Amino acid sequence: MPGRLLARRTPWIGLGVALVLVAAAFAVPPLTGWQVYARAPRSASDLGAPPLHGVWDPKLFGPGTIPAILVAWVGWRWFARWVVSARWWQLQSVGYVLGLMWLFSLALVDGPEGLSRVLGHSSEYLESARDVGSIGSLLHHYVDRMPIDSPGAWPTQPAGHPPLALLLFVALVRVGLGGSLAAGCVVTVIAALVAPLVLSTVRTLGAEDLARRVAPFLVLTPAAVFMAVSADAVFSAVAAGGLALLARGATAQRLTWVGWSAAAGLVLGAGVMMSYGLPLIGLVCLAVLVTARSWRPLPVAALAALLVVIGFALAGFSWWEAYPVLHDRYWAGVAAVRPAAYWMWGDLALLAISAGPLVYAGIAVLVPRVRGLAGVHHLHHDLRPAWTPAARAVVLLAAAGVLCVVVADVSRMSKAEVERIWLPFMPWITLAVALLPQKWRRWGLLGQLVWALAVQQLFYTSW
C-alpha cells in the first residue's frame, strides 16, 4: 500500500515543486528587495518581472488572444484524441500546422509587434546582418569584435553566439527577408519544426505509441511563448533535426547508415556553430545511441561535425578561441551581478514557466524509472515500470534532456534568460509527460494550454 500511495502521489509532488519554485522566484525579489538582475533596469522604478527577462504587462485581450484560445480548444478537444489513430504522416503534417498556428497566435497577442519587436531590437542579429559585406572578413574579424570594449563591438546576440547564427540572418537579408516582421515569420516557421522532428526521433527508436501520447504536449507547448521569433528556437530545430538523422543512422540497415550518420554530424556541427550551449545536446545524442544499442554512427557523425567546426576555423573563426572571449565578456557584464544564490533555483523555475509545470510532474515520474534502469531493484513494484523498448527510449531521452539543464545550471553559464536558452533541451524533457497516467495527460494538457495563455497575457517578454 505505501508503494501504491507513493506512486499516485509522485506526479503531485513534481507539480507541487514546480509551482512552489515559480511562486518563490517571483515573490522573493520584490518581498526582500533583492536585485537579481534578470535584465538591466531601464529606470530606478523599473523592477521587471524576475525570473523572466521581461516586465509585467497584464492585458485582457490582444489580436491573437481569441485565435490562441481557439487553437488551444481544438488541440485539447480534438487533436489530443485524433493523434492516437491518425496515420503517421497525417499526425506530422497536422501537428506542424497546428503548432505553427499556436506559435503565431500567441505572438500576435501583442499584435504584429509580437513578431517583429524582438528581431528588430538593436541587441539582436538583424541590424548587424544588414551591415555585413564580405563573409570572409566577417569570419576573420569575428572574435576581435566580441569584447565589449572593442572597436565595432558586436551587440549582445551576435557576440554571444558563433557566427552561423548571424549568417542565417545575413542570408535572410540577402534574399529580401531582412525586415524584422519577415524575419520573425521565417524564424517562427522553422521553430514549428521542432515537434515533428522530436516525434520522428522517438518513433524511429521504436516508441511510436509513446510519441503519439506526447505529441499534443510538444505541438502545443507553453514554450511557444518564447519560441516564436526567438533564434534559440531555430537552434532547437537544428538540434532536433540532427538527432532525428542520428536515430536514422543508428537504426538503418546496410550501408545507408553511413549517409544518415554523416548528415547527422553535419547538422549537429552546424548547431555547434550557432550556439555555444549546443555541445550539451551531445548527452541526448548518447541517449539515442544507447537506446538504439548501436555505436556505429558515432565516429562518422563525430567526424562530420568536426569537419564543420574545422571548416569555420580554416575560414577564419575558431570556436575554441572564441569561447574564452565570450566567457570574459559574459562575466564582465550583467552575469557578474546576477546572484547565483537566486539563479541556481530561479533558472529551474524558468524551466517550469517556459516548458509548463506539468513537465515537473513528468520528471518526478521519470526519476524512479531512471533508478530502475540503473539497476536499483529495491523500489516497490508500483514504482518500477514494465521495461518495454518504448519506455526505455523515452526514459533515456528525457533523462538526457534533464541532465543537459542540470549541467548548464550547475556550471553557472546559464544565469537568467533560460526561458529561451534552454529551448533546445525542453522538448526532450517534455517526453517524460508520456510516462504520466492517462488522466494526468488529459487534464494536464488543458493545464499546460491555460498556463501558456496566462504567461502570454500577463507579461511582455523580451523574446
Nearest CA among 103, 115, 24 for reference residue 350: 24
Are 383 and 7 a contacting pair, CB within 8 Å? yes
Nearest CA among 322, 236, 328 for reference residue 284: 236
* pLDDT at residue number 332: 86
Paired with 460 in beta bridges are: 55
Grid cell digits, residue 280: 550539451
In 218-292, the DSSP E strands lie at none
- Taking residue 123's Cβ as centre, other Cβ atoms within 10 Å add up to 15
Distance CA 218, CA 199 (A): 8
Q: Please report, for residues 36, 47, 55, 334, the alpha-carbon distance to residue 42 in angstroms, rounded to integers and kept in the order given.
A: 14, 9, 11, 13
Q: Where are the alpha helices (DSSP H) in 252-357?
A: 256-272, 282-292, 297-315, 319-332, 340-355
Distance CA 246, CA 240 (A): 10
Distance CA 369, CA 387 (A): 9
Q: Please report, for residues 48, 102, 104, 219, 457, the alpha-carbon distance to residue 71 in angstroms, rounded to integers and kept in the order given.
A: 30, 6, 10, 11, 15
- Taking residue 276's Cβ as centre, other Cβ atoms within 10 Å add up to 18
Q: Please report, for residues 26, 65, 163, 342, 456, the alpha-carbon distance to residue 56 in angstroms, rounded to integers and kept in the order given.
A: 11, 17, 33, 20, 10
- Taking residue 89's Cβ as centre, other Cβ atoms within 10 Å add up to 8
Q: Please count the helices (runs of H) and the strands (runs of E) in the chain.
A: 24, 2
What is the chain's pLDDT, residue by residue, as a tens digit (463 residues)?
A: 455 655 689 999 999 999 999 999 999 999 999 999 997 666 555 568 999 999 999 998 899 999 999 999 999 999 999 999 999 999 999 999 999 999 999 999 999 999 999 999 999 999 999 999 999 999 999 999 999 999 999 999 999 999 999 999 999 999 999 999 999 999 999 999 999 999 999 999 999 999 999 999 999 999 999 999 899 999 999 999 999 999 999 999 888 999 999 999 999 999 999 999 999 999 999 999 999 999 999 999 999 999 999 999 999 999 999 999 999 998 888 888 999 999 999 999 999 999 999 999 999 999 988 877 765 444 444 444 456 888 999 999 999 999 999 999 998 888 899 999 999 999 999 999 999 999 999 999 999 999 999 999 999 988 7
Cα atoms in the Cβ-side hemisphere of radius 13 Å centred on 412: 11
